[in-house]
Amino acid sequence: MFGSRNDVPLDKDASSRFLPWLIAVMVYLATMSLIVALTMNKLANRWDQGLSNSLTIQVPAGQSPAERLAIEKKTVLLLQEFKKIPDVKKAEMLTDGELNKLLEPWLGKDVVLHDLPIPLLISIELSQSSARTLDAINALTAQNLPTASIDDHQRWLGNLLGLAKIIGTVSLLVVLLVGGAAALMVILVTRMGLAIHRQVVELFHLMGAQDAYIANRFQLHALKLSMAGGFAGLLLAGLTIAAFSTLLGQANSALLPSFTLTATEWGLLLLIPVGASLVAMITARLTVLRSLALMP
């Protein structure tokens, strides 16, 4: 019952020629979108790790050198406290030399920093970021240096992560939309097939063929065509990614995402043509069953 001869001559229909191409394009788009979603997800994770493991504390220096000296002393003590927190890997005050280097482009060389009310900067690196560690740092800072402000990059990171999430979501939406469009296409092609082969379908029906038998003919046809198109689309997407990777590899940019995918991710991509084929098959089946239900 499952896939004997082709007694409904669907192979000769125009649909047999254009459906695989349509499905190929759809699968290509869906695959690229999914890759974008995956990459965005990975990128967001990387940023999340890379950035939230470090934070900066700004301590406003007083107006007078004496004041500044007192604050410096307090800061050094605070650094010792920070180092007692388990997850703090490094806690240090940026030296005048380092600050000089940072400010050089704006202020020029050889500025005597002690003469300017430049804030002190503490740089902290965490082996692992957690709310508890951040809370501890916050508490210590507020206690010892109430005027200091902590920049844990969270707000900036939050915006970036939000953007990455939006791009990821939009990409997944594209996958769904493309899937819906493919299903509509299959409905159209199946209806066309039913119209073209109405005589055959009616004949089978009158001979006592069950609806499922007739639906099988169409669903297997849709499955065959969309598998061919689906895997062609996946292959094209694979080639595109390979080309991108080569180009990006040459550019060797740390900021740009890498397109290397894990086995799981390849499996996920493989699901697109398989999913498209199943959607096509089920859509064709339901379309035929619905139209057969109208026959007495």
Footprint of other proteins (CB under 8 A):
1, 4-5, 7, 9, 12, 199-200, 202-211, 213, 296
Residue 66, sorted as left (phi over 0), alpha (psi -120 to 50) or beta, turns out to be alpha
Q: Which helix (H) or strand (E) holds 273?
A: helix 263-292
Least distance CB 12 / other proteins (angstroms): 8
CA-CA distances (angstroms) from residue 273 to 32, 160, 221, 228, 230? 12, 32, 15, 9, 4
Shortest CB 33 distance to other proteins, Å: 40
Tell me the closest approach of the beta carbon of residue 189 to other proteins, in angstroms: 19
Residue closer to other proteins (CB basis): 149 or 210: 210
CA atoms of 274 and 84, how far apart (whole Å): 54
Residue 191 or residue 205: which is nearer to other proteins going by CB?
A: 205
Which CB, 18 or 213, lies closer to other proteins?
213
CB closer to other proteins out of 165 and 205: 205
CB of 198 to other proteins, least distance (A): 12
What is residue 58's DSSP assignment?
A: E
**Strands lying side by side in the sheet with 54-59:** 88-93, 120-126, 54-59, 149-151
Residue 11 Cβ vs other proteins, minimum distance, rounded to whole Å: 9
Closest to other proteins by CB, 105 vs 296, is 296
DSSP code of 130?
-
